[in-house]
Amino acid sequence: MAFLIELVNDLGYFAMFIFSWLIFIGLPLPNEAAAAFSGVLTEWRGYSPVLAFTSTYLGIISSGTFGYGVGRWAKARVLYKIETSKSKKLYRKAQTWLRQYGPIGISFSYFIPGVRLVMPYIAGASGISFRTFMMAAYPAAFIWCMIYFQIGRLFPSTFTIIIEHLSLVAAAAAVIVFFALIGFCYFKRRKQSSRTIMNRGE
């Protein structure tokens, strides 16, 4: 965290924007820690919560948009590189979600550690329109960012321990809600189909 503090001392709010980009230069900083640390800074350093959150959120969605753009431009090369890397399992999981559930899978991927990092690339390479990606990813990123940002504000001294456990809980909860939503949509469609058949019979 010393590096992050030094970065904030030099760049202020812009540092909170680039937190989400640090992973691209090899710094293993989880997005959860980046979002929560921005919240911590509003308590420890007196930064404006509104400006700090806005900077962090813009950093998250811009890095995701960058990933989408790279996937859209490079396509097969990106998919091959991800599939043959250490992220192979995450790639397959994200690809399955996207193929089966479309935009809903993109939204829920933000709550699954690791999957949200590869999903933008896969969404872009799969030919999903930018508008669809934006409508699915940006609101989900806002909710996700707000949760961890507030954790940093409320628990500045213990946020690292909390987010370590919360990430697992959030992932499990997201999966449960995700499949519950899929089940609800399935039974709703089935019920509508039954009504249509009955109306035709009459």
Tell me the C-alpha distance between 150 and 166, whole Å.
13
CA atoms of 155 and 3, how far apart (whole Å):
21
pTM above 0.95, yes or no: no
Helix axis angle, 130-154 to 115-125, nearest 10°: 170
How do residues 20-71 score in pLDDT, each as one tens digit? 787 665 566 677 777 888 888 888 888 999 999 999 999 999 989 998 998 8
**pLDDT of amino acid 132:** 93
pLDDT at position 151 is: 87
How much is the pLDDT for 74? 80
So what's the pLDDT on residue 102? 83
Q: Which of 118, 107, 52, 108 is nearest to 85 (CA)?
A: 118
* Range 82-87 average pLDDT: 62
pLDDT value, residue 113: 74
Mean pLDDT calculated for residue range 141-167? 78
Q: What is the 3-state secondary structure (H, E, C) of 67-131?
A: HHHHHHHHCHHHHHHHHCCCCHHHHHHHHHHHHHHCHHHHHHHCCCCCHHHHHHHHHHHCCCCHH
Q: Average pLDDT, stretch 138-149?
A: 91
Please identify which residue in the block is written with the tokens 């995701």. Answer: 64
Average pLDDT, the chain: 77
- d(C-alpha 126, C-alpha 71), whole Å: 8
Query: Which of the four pLDDT bands, split at 50, 70 and 90, describes residue 81?
Result: low
Compare 184 and 162 and report the one with higher pLDDT.
162
